[in-house]
Chain A
Amino acid sequence: MDISLMITSLPKLLSATVVTLKLLSLSLFFGLFIGLLFAILRLNKNIFINKFAYGYSYVFRGTPLLVQIFIIYFGLGQIEYFRSTFLWVVFKEPYWCAIIAFALNTGAYTSEILRSAFQTIKPGIIEAGKSLGISNKIIFYKIQIPVAIRQSLPAYGNEIILMMKGTSLASTVTLMDLTGVAKYIISTTFKPIEVFIVAGGIYLFMTFIIHNLIKFLEKKYSFN
């Protein structure tokens, strides 16, 4: 075991962790909007809207994230017509391709988490609002959404952790995230065990932080 390599690679891996955190936070940010939008569409009574939202979550939850990244990065890049559109400005960059893939993926899972949270809201809460004369719109924004978010915290915490680990796939589309830099160091030192142990430790530490943050929020917004 080459301890000195572990120590010298730590700063490089930590600065790569910044890239990982950027990818994670941007994906979660866009993914939350996508998830909320599609959760609402799922609750829509119109069968077409409903099925469309269901189809989206079915496709993105039913295929591997790696395949999704490859289709978005290498796949779309092969279509000559696509390269001539303005969208290419965004899709040309591996960074944005990764964020789009991650956001669409986590968005699908988030929509399911939020949908089930919406559906478990007790009708009594909504009726209580109605009997106080509060409008449907305000009931939705001020009662249903906050309650649903609280309901979904434990499941969403898991999704954040899964997504954090999922960002390691960014290295497959040339991004130098934590995994990308770890592989780079290995390619010059030929010592995978040492470097992956340090990288794994950093991932574990991030999980630790996220886990405790969610636990704190759960306690803070506890119903009891």
Chain B
Amino acid sequence: MEGFMNIFKKTILAVLVSFLLIGSSYADKIKIGTEGAYPPWNSKDASGKLIGFEVELAWTLCRYIGSQCEIVEQDWDGMIPALIMRKFDAIMAGMSITAERQKAISFSQGYADEVASLAVMKGSSLEGMETSEGINLGKKTGAVKKDLKTLTAALAGKTVCVQTATIHQNFLESGDVGKVNVRTYKTQDEVNLDLAAGRCDAALAAAVAFSDYAEKSGKPVVLVGPTFSGGAFGNGVGVGIRKDDTQLLNAFNKAINQARKNGDISRIAIKWFGFDASM
């Protein structure tokens, strides 16, 4: 029995030590977390390999930093906690820079603009809403207020679907468009499915996420209303980094500067989005 207890104790010790080693093994290899479910920002191909704008950009930035990298997958709703708990060292997952998130983590400078838009199925009563092309919620001008009023009237009592813990959810719950039934999903795929099934009157996400879905599924998804930016929608998409990790933050900022100057970000953006979303 004593021999058994000894082995038992040793095993526990070995497991604990290996956990400690795992926790501190990122010194030379940067681990980057992404969702892999938000095309064309980041997704997976048929063989399960991570692809997309941010995956390609991550490899490019790593080259500029001059460090080895590993890209790991993480569910969206656990992204920031996973970063804080050191499962990886940086987030590149279409994550917009918002004041709320900045309370928990730091962001590099923005590398791309996420333009959000409402989408409905063809034939919806929300089609043909009369608003301006795009509104910036950072500046509440008369025109912006007028569009928000139009949206409030159109969306009253409607069910709008969004991915959970996103700027899109924050915006709908901010009261800027009155009281809407917000339904939240774990992934954008599920939002798309329920929009197509008719469970959602409308959905809100990155405009490119809807056009990507419409193209791949052949479903008649159409964008309506203005595109959104600023305010609750944050200031572009950046790399999320732990607050105490200023060294890595500086490295990413420098790499983004270089990649921008050499036209890498624009090139990769055009490849995946079809237009230059870099910033």
Q: Identify the A interface with B (CB < 8 A).
A: 74, 77-78, 83, 92, 94, 172, 174, 183-184, 186-188, 190-192
Contacts and interface: CB of A to CB of B under 8 A. Distances in A.
Contact of A191 (B81, B184, B196): B81
28 contacts: A74-B193, A74-B197, A77-B193, A77-B198, A78-B193, A78-B197, A83-B197, A83-B198, A92-B198, A92-B199, A94-B183, A94-B199, A174-B183, A174-B184, A174-B194, A183-B77, A183-B164, A184-B164, A184-B184, A186-B77, A188-B100, A188-B165, A190-B80, A190-B81, A190-B105, A191-B81, A192-B78, A192-B81
Contacts of B104: 190
Nearest to A183: B77
B186 interface: yes
Contacts of B105: 190
B187 to A, nearest CB: 10
B70 interface: no
Contacts of B198: 77, 83, 92
B273 interface: no
B190 interface: yes
Contacts of B193: 74, 77-78
Contacts of A77: 193-194, 197-199
B185 interface: yes
B185 A174 contact: yes
Given A78-B196, A94-B199, 16 more contacts: A74-B194, A77-B197, A78-B197, A92-B198, A92-B199, A174-B183, A183-B164, A184-B164, A184-B184, A187-B165, A188-B165, A190-B81, A190-B84, A190-B105, A191-B81, A192-B81
A174 B183 CA distance: 6
A190 B197 CA distance: 32
Interface in B9-44: none
A174 B162 CA distance: 10
Nearest to B182: A174
Ordered nearest first, which 5 A-B pairs have the shortest CB separation?
A187-B165, A77-B197, A190-B80, A190-B104, A174-B183
Interface residues of B, number: 22
Main secondary structure of the interface of A (DSSP, over half): helix
Contact of A172 (B100, B161, B165, B186): B186
B199 A187 contact: no
A16 to B, nearest CB: 14
Interface string B50-82: 000000000000000000000000000110110
Nearest to A82: B197
Contacts of B81: 186, 190-192
B100 to A, nearest CB: 7
A94 B100 CA distance: 30
A74 B104 CA distance: 34
B275 to A, nearest CB: 30
A93 B210 CA distance: 23
A66 to B, nearest CB: 12
A162 to B, nearest CB: 23
A167 B105 CA distance: 33
A188 B184 CA distance: 13
A6 to B, nearest CB: 16
Contacts of A184: 164, 184
B62 to A, nearest CB: 26
Nearest to A171: B186
Interface string B196-216: 111100000000000000000
B204 to A, nearest CB: 15
A188 B166 CA distance: 10
A81 to B, nearest CB: 13
A91 to B, nearest CB: 9
- Candidate in A78, A94, A172, A186 with the most chain B CB atoms within 10 angstroms: A186
A92 B196 CA distance: 12
Given A78-B197, A83-B198, A192-B81, A187 B100 contact: no
Given A74-B190, A174-B183, A187 B197 contact: no
